[in-house]
A and B are shown apart, each in its own frame.
Chain A
Amino acid sequence: MSCFDYPVDSQTILLKKRALRKELLQKEGLVDKKIAILSGSTVGQIRPVLELFLLHHGIRPTFWEGGYHLYYEDIVFGNEELKAFAPDLIYIHTSNRNLENRPSVYDSDEAAAAKLSAECARWQGLWDAALANFHCPVVQNNFELPTLRVMGNADAVMAQGQVRFVNELNRTAADYAAAHTGFYVQDINWLASVHGLDQWCDESSWCLYKYALNPELIPELCANLANIIKSVFGRNKKALALDCDNTLWGGVIGDDGVQGIHLGLEDAGGMAYSAFQSYLKEVAGLGVLLNICSKNEEHIAREGFNRAESVLKNEDFIAFMANWNPKSQNLQAMAQQLNIGLTDIVFVDDNPAEREQVRAALHGMPVPELTGPEVYARALDRSGYFEVTTFSKDDRGRNQMYKENVQRAAAQQQFADYSDYLRSLEMTAQITPFAPEFLARTTQLINKTNQFNLTTRRYTEDEVRACMEDENCVTLCGRLQDKFGDNGLVSVIIGRKIGDALEVELWIMSCRVFKRDLELAMFDALAAAAAKLGCSRITGSWLRTAKNALVRDFYPSLGFEVTQDGENERYFALNIEQLPEEKNKVIAVQPNQ
């Protein structure tokens, strides 16, 4: 348990921020990001506390802080210093206190409506300018409700009311975010209501220090904000490992029998477990993989999910590890089977001893504290492991794709020769330049692929778009299907023409399609595209990270020569004056449409 996990330990964070920072800076594999904070009130402790939460998520921020209450001017009229800082992300920290054009009870309906339109236009103008001038993700909070209501409840109804005014503005912010990629709303209206509006809006902190929120709640604000930022930069968790007994149902199925466990709405003891299962079913719909990690006989544990009252069914799980091995060992096997990192899995278990075993054995694995079953869902929900900032078709289909992988593994058993197996998959691929409709998925893949990633460069959606539009760039994205299903967009290459060489800046492939020869088909397409641009060489590099040892020798395996060799960086080149023979023999690549 760290002070950053739910429930956030605000007091420790505020008091020990210096010591915590020193400790967090020791973490390995931190990625650097430049964050601009523009504000309509005092930033103060928000900056150091946000830094702690970002470090906790593996992001080492450098900050640029705008002047007090200059958020509008800095963005709309431009600020050279901010421009030169070239932020990777902009956070606009504002509050109800920054609203202008407020309606009043002295206004006619028409005048009040005109004020609302003017205020909506003012904010939209700000957001348009932020997106247009900085080409990076923008996070803007919506607004907390007012603490005073001169008309009482009618304040939420009449055009002159402040409550109605804020509600309308918040809807405008939500509509704007829905219509603009790269723009994210931080829902402080929700956050303030969770903590209580009177507690959130502290009058004396405003009068004394111009803090728009109670400084005691700064850690809560930053925890929430850091979830959005780490999600934008591709650091969400990917899977859940769930215990069964007293986690997904009440009781011990091995002792109490399948009919003896508590589950379902007819049973007071079972209701909370059913509600938790329903919550998990929704989480799975986001593309989060559900898996079982339980000390049980497998056939007995599976019976529990055959009960009619069980919301989750056996088909909902990808890895089903029910045995008597230590849980840490099962989790390692699970990570291997799913081909994801251990720290990408959230371990959910009611038993404190199991949680401790896993925390001690597997450092860095997220293990939420669970108390009673009625609050399991909340513990998971508030931790923000799966904060959604993009929601692609691919996310929706992810569980299905992993199930197809299980079928593929079974099919592989039938072939002695691996290439016979590959041919039996009847694979087809489309390898095309980047296209606007795939930009979101392309960006998402770039930012979360770690293993088959030669350079681990991360790109924002705007940067990906810029590559797409640059005629000196070769951009390729590969989609792969086989007889079991569609793997979707799973490989990306970005190359840039420099002199007579095409320099490969980025080459990634999803672990989902390892060892399927798609990398060979991608190479064929890359060589053809480079030749078409008039390049006589292709150059590439391998930059070591904690996770990409897999592709250390990838370029040599394609016939590249090593031009510069080092422990942490290797550089390669391949002459293509004569176009190399096509390497892919098993995938039918469909011609460009």
Chain B
Amino acid sequence: MTAEQVLKELEEIFRDNFDDDDIVLTRETTADDIEDWDSLEQINLLTTIGKKYGIKFSIDDVSSLANVGDMVDLVLRLKA
């Protein structure tokens, strides 16, 4: 699994979650870039991502996420 692949898959999840097919994710995307992305949506996204990859996030994992790039790296690390 490559970072490129994970980014594409996260993009799919974001598009479903926000019901918006125009969303394009980059490693630099943050909550400021997507209008409805608030702390509650963050939880929903993490729940879905955890389910999709069969991984469980610890409290430390989750508190240090700054952007989509961090999410991609976290998925890769936990899947490794």
Could you tell me which A residues sit within 8 Å of B by CB distance?
11, 14-16, 18-19, 22, 42, 44-45, 204-205, 207-209, 211, 215-216
State the B residues within 8 Å of A (CB): 13, 16-19, 39-40, 43-44, 47-48, 51, 57-59, 62-63
In the complex, which residue of chain A has the Cβ closest to the Cβ of B62?
Answer: A208
In the assembled complex, the Cα of A542 lies from the Cα of B40 at a distance in Å of 45
Q: Which residues of A contact B44 (CB under 8 A)?
A: 14-15, 45, 215
Q: B63 — which chain A residues lie within 8 A by C-beta?
A: 208
Residue in B16, B40, B51, B57 whose CB lies within 8 Å of A45: B40
In angstroms, how far is the closest chain A Cβ from the Cβ of B68?
17
Chain A residues with Cβ under 8 A from B62's Cβ? 204, 208
**Is the Cβ of A18 less than 8 Å from the Cβ of B51?**
no
Q: A45-B43, A208-B62 are in contact. Are A15 and B48 (CB under 8 A)?
A: yes
Given contacts A44-B40, A207-B59, 9 further A-B contacts (CB under 8 A): A11-B51, A14-B44, A14-B48, A15-B13, A18-B19, A45-B44, A204-B59, A209-B43, A211-B43
Given contacts A45-B40, A45-B44, contact A15 B59 (CB under 8 A): no
- Knowing A45-B44, A209-B43, the reply to whether A15 touches B58 (Cβ < 8 A) is no
| B40 contact set on A, CB distance < 8 A | 42, 44-45
Our count of residue pairs bridging A and B at CB distance below 8 angstroms stands at: 43
With a CB–CB cut-off of 8 A, which chain A residues contact B13? 15
Closest to B16 in A: A15
Report Cα–Cα, A42/B47, bound state, in Å.
15
B71 CB, nearest partner CB in chain A, Å:
15
Q: In the complex, what distance in Å separates the CA atom of A214 from the CA atom of B19?
A: 24
A208: chain B residues at CB < 8 Å are 43, 59, 62-63
20 A–B contacts from the bound complex (CB under 8 Å)? A11-B48, A14-B44, A14-B47, A14-B48, A15-B13, A15-B16, A16-B16, A16-B17, A18-B18, A18-B19, A19-B19, A22-B19, A42-B40, A44-B40, A44-B43, A204-B59, A208-B62, A209-B39, A215-B43, A216-B51
Classify the interface of chain B: helix, strand, loop or mixed: helix
Instruction: Give the residues in chain A near B47, CB-CB below 8 Å.
Output: 14, 215-216
Within the complex, what minimum Cβ distance (angstroms) separates A69 from chain B?
16
Interface centre among A11, A16, A204 (most CB of B within 10 A): A204
Closest 9 A-B residue pairs measured CB to CB?
Answer: A18-B19, A44-B40, A19-B19, A15-B16, A215-B47, A204-B59, A15-B48, A209-B43, A216-B47
B79 to chain A, nearest CB (A): 19
Q: Which residues of B contact A204 (CB under 8 A)?
A: 57-59, 62
Q: Which residues of B contact A211 (CB under 8 A)?
A: 43
Of chain A, the residue at the smallest CB distance from B14 is: A15
* Complex Cα gap A11–B19 (Å): 15
List residues of chain B with CB within 8 A of the CB of A45: 40, 43-44
Tell me whether A15 and B17 are in contact (CB under 8 A).
yes
Question: Which residue of chain B is the closest to A43 with respect to CB atoms?
Answer: B40
Closest residue on chain A to residue B51 by CB atoms: A11
User: Which residue on chain B has the smallest CB distance to residue A12?
Assistant: B16
Contact A16 B19 (CB under 8 A): yes
Q: What's the Cα separation between A207 and B60 when bound, in Å?
A: 11
With a cutoff of 8 Å between Cβ atoms, the chain A residues found around residue B19 in the complex are 16, 18-19, 22
User: Which residue, B13, B40, B62, has most C-beta atoms of chain A within 10 A?
Assistant: B40
Task: List B contacts of A14 (CB < 8 A).
Answer: 44, 47-48
Q: Given the complex, which residues of B lie within 8 Å of A207, measured CB to CB?
A: 59
Kindly state the separation between the CA atoms of A207 and B59 in the bound complex, as whole angstroms. 8
Rounded to whole angstroms, the CA-CA distance of A211 and B16 in the bound complex is: 23
By a CB distance below 8 angstroms, the chain B residues around A215 are 43-44, 47
Closest to A203 in B: B59
- Closest chain A CB from B26 CB (angstroms): 21
Residue of A nearest to B52 (CB): A11
Q: Complex Cα distance A19/B18, Å? A: 9
A216 CA to B57 CA, complexed, in Å: 13
Q: How far is the CA of A209 from the CA of B41 in the complex (A)?
A: 11
CA distance A116 to B44 in the complex (A): 37
Bound complex: CA A205 to CA B46 (Å): 11
- Interchain nearest-CB distance for B77 vs A (Å): 17
Closest to A16 in B: B16
B48, chain A: closest CB distance, angstroms: 5
The smallest beta-carbon distance between A71 and chain B, in angstroms, is 19
Residue of A nearest to B41 (CB): A45
CB distance from B47 to the nearest CB of A (A): 5
Shortest CB–CB separation between residue B76 and chain A, in angstroms? 20
**Chain A residues, Cβ within 8 Å of B17:** 15-16, 18
Residues of A near B48 (CB, < 8 A) are 11, 14-15
CA of A253 to CA of B47, assembled, Å: 49
Shortest distance between the CB of B53 and any CB in chain A (Å) = 13
What residues on B are CB-neighbors of A44 within 8 Å?
40, 43
The CA of A11 and the CA of B44, in the complex, are separated in Å by: 10
> When chains A and B are docked, how far (Å) is the Cα of A215 from the Cα of B17?
15
What residue in chain A is nearest B18 (Cβ atoms)? A18
Q: How far is the CA of A199 from the CA of B44 in the complex (A)?
A: 17
Least CB distance from A198 to B in Å reads 13
Q: Which of B43, B59, B63 has the most CB of A within 10 A?
A: B43
Closest to A214 in B: B47
Per the bound structure, the CA–CA distance linking A287 and B59 in Å amounts to 50
**B59 to chain A: which residues have CB within 8 Å?**
204, 207-208
A207, B43: Cα distance in complex, Å: 12
With CB as the reference atom, state the residue of chain A lying closest to B61: A204
Chain B residue at minimal CB-CB distance from A211: B43
Query: Complex formed: what's the CA distance from A204 to B58 in Å?
Result: 7
Instruction: Give chain A residues whose Cβ lies under 8 Å from the Cβ of B43.
Output: 44-45, 205, 208-209, 211, 215
